[in-house]
A and B are shown apart, each in its own frame.
Chain A
């Protein structure tokens, strides 16, 4: 069978309808809110059924591995009056989207289930309903983004996710702090987003479309290198602009400052939005535009951004004491690894890390939620999330502890766990890239150093929270024993199953558990076979097709793809790559274990004193605690120091000077001219000429009045005199 838009749409529409209905239902409180919560969960569970069907078709082989579905319809057009312009929307599903869809729906379902536990006794009636309203909208937008066939609709869903993120960070709106955090999150990502929009506009203008298929074809036909924008090739300009979107959304350096503050939202929303899906969407986008990054020669830049972020965030995570803050910085760091993967050309591993990270990080956040929610300070009536007040919790929370350790081992890169498989491959490819291009040695080195720190700070967190003696006895004693429950730890345990590496690679030798290709030789992993960078060959046979057309290209029977053993590489190159991958794998195993070891020495066995390091490197410690002063630089330096004074100056100029003196001044000037005119009028025209006329008339009046005496005799004399005068004159 093949998919049409209407058969795929329910994935997006189910959560969307849940959002629309809940928007009216959720605030009512009581039964209505319970119904709303149930509706949200049911909708996302329904989506995951659809997503699983698509996943099954793509991975277990109704389609050839390079197959994709592309259907579209016209959203609106501007055809008329001799002009033409059409905007299309559509779906584009390839293997990557299929895997992504399954991951998003399953993780979101688990988080929804957990949320029913976490948000159960939130302070106001109907408030937890409001939480689910945004969660449904968010999930719908995220799924829409994954299904999008063009950058424009990616942007639309991208911004909608930003809105949901804004609303959920500001969920506890009575706190002043959340107001700062959500504005910061929205504005920082918006910096990237406006560039993203600019990139879309540039591509649309140059090639007449922003559909992925059209973009890949245009890359092949050389349009992206021949067109120049502001002196650089279009690929560079557009690639950079769109990658700015990734930097903002995936919290990469230098726009990484918003993600730690985003932890002000409820923990399940952090798990879904700020760990598993939305922030990963940035990486997903950069994978979608991967050809642009390559053609535009931006890979080095991307790798540096990724490397710096991966290492920098890991260093900050070393000194955090807040449970969620450690996870927030580790998210930034792990996203940095994905971006590093994109930069070093490790397309497949970057995407795999996206998936594995989404699973273990969602699980970590949910575990953190499970911990924080049950720790209560009875004096302040707040939940406790400071690690110095935890300790020994493994006795109270067995299931959370197990789930969290699975995830910690995964993120630390311990063999047989998913994080090892994906991260090791990124680091191996970084090493290979460094052998080709010495400049890449820096991001590769940063990646390895970051891996050491990751193993250390994650284990530090685990030891501080779950092991040793309880440091705050009161909090510990008030904590209830954790029982197995469907909405508290079942989601955690379910997710932790997928932290095992076998799901993604099988084993170190690359034996796939789920084989889609060449199972006679059994050498290839499903992930590596399915996910590959967009290539021309994938698109030349597939023309765009409009909504409703029947598709004749469905593969009736399973068709094996002819991938050669060496993934298209030459013999020598294959050996070279293989060699460096082995070196990388050994190095990262050693690094991961030493990270765990150091953490254990410091925090579990207490052989080494962490205080010594704090005292010795106090200045660096403070720098790290202040997150390299980036917040200060942006907020105090740029916004409060430059932007606001500039605004105030401009506003004063506008109203105080321009309006007052120039505009009103022209009125005053007019008044002045009027006064002069008035004066001139009074003196010359009025006094001398008009009044003068009057005066002269008066004067003659006076003279004449004497004549008008009313005496007949006088008139008679006058008449005679006049007549006499005439006679004389004649």
Chain B
């Protein structure tokens, strides 16, 4: 069945056109490469805006009018199958926005400009691929291919320890991918290698509740075994404790734009994997493991916050705060109630904007200071009195910080409140413990802010200049998003609520 429109393909391949374009531009014309990349992301953004217009918010499930399905490898029933629903659309919009901002924030990259922008655009295409693919094989391909630009972007443009971080990131994720591959192959064979063996939509709905599988002579429930395989695969990406240790390394070493993409979009691919693949295909196993997921989410929330509080490197602190905030998403998912699930998807979007702001701001500061120590290892202050020195920067920082800690009126609050509302009815004890996360979340951010921004301006900070026009320009859309969706979250929720509701209804039957 071929679709009525090729809009999704256009969005998916537009960054690839961008890559080809950058490759054609001579290496020395750096500004031209930058402008071309920027233009490319603007076009992509415009296309996603068209997608948003065409999207019918009342429909649960995939939008038929936007679906594209062509045979790719006929012998194995692998399809080029793209579709979009209320869960993936917010992620696609977020991706388009963040890549646009990242191109702008990467304006100051000096090293191998051509390769950098080509890889960045290539990365964008693979991320779109993950969020659009409805064929498991295609999904897997994009999931894996995405590692290649990430590996080089961290490994070439990163900090001092970049190779270690890049290899660690690659191996960690690859380990998860292998488990996912096992799950995918198992599904392929258990469905008899038929036309729909890789079709995520056709596999969904709890078909494998009573299927068993024989491993080493033991007869085991198919759904539970392969849910765990998929779970670990996705959990590494989220990252769920105890698979989280790649994140601080990757964040600290990655250049600013890559940190933004990593925290803003890539982590969400993990939770997106639960929503799109693990939960719909194995609903019975999801319900069975809900307690475990909730406890893991709780550990993420608390453990991430505790670790964040001990960090002296700002970027590492925010990296751990991501661990904590993604724990809230896991809690919302584990709740499997309408408030929890909607809260989780909303939190995926909101965390994307607020953390992106935090990492961008840290990048802006790093360009001036060339270090990120709140307190240096020798005990001296790394920053001091930034509020006096950088007033505009401080205001944006306050917005980002309070959005991140969930101040009402800014975006993080609605999602966290919905998540709490969602889990309370299922896991009262966990809710009571998880509120500690809210407390700690405010504590480490405010403490960091106090140490960096209050007091007299220390000597080395006196040379810092405030945000320039370009920096203000690319922070503005995020500030607006954070405030608007905090005051009026309905546009986002209307997008997702039908699709999320459908998933909740499915899970409720098990």
A binding-site residues for B, Cβ under 8 Å: 27, 75-85, 152, 155-157, 159-160, 163, 166-167, 170, 173-176, 178-180, 182-183, 186-187, 190-191, 194-195, 197-198, 201-202, 204-205, 229-230, 643-644, 646-648, 650-652, 654-655, 658-659, 662-663, 667
Contacts and interface: CB of A to CB of B under 8 A. Distances in A.
Contacts, number: 169
Contacts of A80: 58, 60, 497-502
Given A81-B502, A81-B505, A159-B408, A194 B306 contact: no
Contacts of B454: 170, 173-176, 178-179
A187 B442 contact: yes
B504 A156 contact: no
Contacts of A655: 245, 248
A455 B430 CA distance: 48
B408 A651 contact: no
A506 B408 CA distance: 42
B453 interface: yes
Given A159-B408, A175-B455, A78 B497 contact: yes
Contacts of A167: 398
B456 A230 contact: no
A174 B429 CA distance: 43
Nearest to B246: A663
Contacts of A647: 306-307, 309-310
Interface stretch (B123-131, B354-362, B433-441): B433-441
Contact of A81 (B398, B439, B500): B500
Given A83-B505, A187-B446, A198-B431, A176 B497 contact: no
B493 interface: yes
B435 A179 contact: no
Interface in B360-400: 385, 387-388, 391, 398
Given A81-B505, A186-B446, A651-B310, A201 B439 contact: no
Interface string B437-461: 0110011001101110111110000
B307 A173 contact: no
B15 to A, nearest CB: 31
B279 interface: no
B432 interface: yes
Interface secondary structure of A, over-half rule: helix
Contacts of A174: 385, 387-388, 454-457
A658 B242 contact: yes
Interface string B486-503: 001110011001111111
Contacts of A650: 303, 306-307, 310
Given A77-B497, A82-B505, 11 more contacts: A78-B339, A81-B498, A81-B502, A166-B446, A179-B450, A187-B446, A194-B436, A230-B428, A650-B306, A654-B307, A658-B245
Instruction: Tell which of A79, A167, A173, A195 has the most Cβ of chain B within 10 Å.
Output: A173
Interface of B: 58, 60, 171-172, 242, 245-246, 248-249, 303, 306-307, 309-311, 338-339, 342, 385, 387-388, 391, 398, 402, 407-409, 413, 417, 420-421, 424-425, 428-429, 431-432, 435-436, 438-439, 442-443, 446-447, 449-451, 453-457, 488-490, 493-494, 497-505
Contacts of A159: 407-409, 413
A201 B421 contact: yes
Closest 3 CB pairs of A and B: A81-B501, A179-B454, A651-B310
Contacts of B310: 644, 647-648, 650-652
Contacts of B428: 229-230
18 contacts: A76-B489, A78-B339, A79-B501, A80-B502, A81-B498, A81-B501, A81-B504, A84-B338, A160-B409, A163-B407, A170-B454, A174-B454, A179-B454, A190-B438, A197-B438, A205-B425, A650-B310, A659-B245
A84 B172 CA distance: 40
A180 B424 contact: no
B94 to A, nearest CB: 19
Contact of A195 (B249, B429, B435, B449): B435
A474 to B, nearest CB: 28
A76 B431 contact: no
Contacts of A170: 454
Given A81-B60, A194-B436, A76 B309 contact: no
Contact of A190 (B246, B439, B455): B439
Contacts of B435: 194-195, 197-198
A166 B500 CA distance: 37
A178 B391 CA distance: 17
Instruction: Determine which residue in A175, A180, A195, A650 has the highest number of CB atoms from chain B within 10 A of its CB, and name it.
Output: A650
Contact of B307 (A78, A81, A651): A651
